[in-house]
Each structure stands twice: as C-alpha cells, then as structure tokens.
C-alpha cells in the first residue's frame, strides 16, 4: 500500500512538507526506544512512536523509513520538522494511541 493511501485510510495529518508519498509500504514498527528501532525495524517501514525530537529523523533516514507516525496527537518539534523537510521524510500525526493505530495498520495488511 502506498503512503498516500495510508494517509487517506487512517486519516493521518501530514505535518511535514514531504512529497515522498508514493513509496510502497509493507511493514511497520512501533517502539520508542531508538536502538530497538535501529535493530529490529525493517528498512522502508512506517515507524509509530511518541518521540518528537529531531533524532527520529536521523533514525528514519538511516533505516530508509517511508514515514513516521506520531501518536496521541503529538506534533514534531520545530527542529524535527525542519530536518524532516530537508530530508523529505513524511511525519504524520494521529489522535489515536499506539495500540489503536497499530491495529488499524494491521487490518490494512501491514505487517511487522
């Protein structure tokens, strides 16, 4: 499923100006521990987290993530947003909790 289809189906709010919304997404990973994400998430995944500081963009870049979903209506810090825009990495915000958004992604056929 393409990133832009996820936005539509999950009613995500795109907070960054990224245009990279055609990437095909098959996997997702939910964790707030950066080392855990580095070690276990598959390349190209969508990452679900509550961390909003700018280091999440570095992690997303290193793992070639298709996007980051911030849960509980969190918004990225200004510095995070600036860096995400530079690197063209989409950051989304959802009002749902981690549990709820992960359930919905799973329903759409996204796997770990």
Partner 1 sequence: METRLDKTLEILFELKVGDAMKKDVVTVGPDDAMGKLNEEMSIHRISGVPVVEGKKLAGIISISDLIAWLSAGVKDSKVKDWMVKDPQCLYADQPLIHAIKRFDQLRFGRFPVLDRESGELVGIITNGDIILGTLKKLEQDYNEEEVRRYRASHFFEDINADHLDLTLAFIITGKDFDHAGRASTTMKKNLKRLGLQPEIIRRAAIASYEAEMNVVIYTDGGTMKFTITDEKLTIIVKDRGPGIENIELAMQDGYTTAEPWVRELGFGAGMGLPNIKKCSDFMDLQSVVGEGTTLKLEIMIGVNDESKRINPEAKS
Q: Which residues are near partner 1 by CB under 8 A? A: 24, 26, 32-36, 38-39, 43, 49, 51, 53-55, 57-59, 61-63, 79
Q: Which is nearer to partner 1, 52 or 93 (CB)?
A: 52
Task: State CA 48 to chain mean position distance.
Answer: 5
Q: How far is the CB of 70 from partner 1 (least distance, A)?
A: 13
Closer CB to partner 1, residue 82 or residue 104? Answer: 82
Q: How far is the CB of 14 from partner 1 (least distance, A)?
A: 22
Q: Which residues fall within 8 angstroms of residue 86, CB to CB, at 6 or more apart? A: none
Task: Please report how many Cα atoms fall inside a 13 Å half-sphere around the Cα of residue 58, on the Cβ side.
Answer: 6
> What's the burial of 58, exposed, middle or buried (CB within 10 Å: 0-12/13-18/19+)?
middle
Q: 3-class SS at 75?
A: coil
Query: Which residue, 8 or 35, has its beta carbon nearer to partner 1?
Result: 35
Complex with partner 1: residue 33 or 99, whichever CB lies closer: 33
- Minimum distance of partner 1 from residue 111's CB (angstroms): 9
- Cβ atoms within 10 A of the Cβ of 14, count? 15
């Amino acid at each position: 499923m393409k990133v832009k289809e996820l936005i539509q189906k999950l009613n995500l709010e795109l907070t960054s100006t990224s245009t990279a919304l055609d990437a095909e997404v098959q996997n997702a990973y939910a964790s707030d521990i950066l080392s855990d994400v580095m070690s276990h998430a598959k390349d190209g995944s969508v990452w679900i987290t509550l961390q909003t500081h700018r280091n999440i963009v570095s992690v997303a870049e290193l793992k070639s993530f298709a996007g980051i979903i911030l849960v509980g209506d969190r918004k990225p810090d200004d510095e995070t947003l600036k860096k995400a825009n530079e690197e063209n990495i989409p950051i989304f915000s959802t009002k749902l909790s981690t549990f709820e958004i992960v359930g919905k992604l799973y329903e759409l056929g996204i796997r770990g």
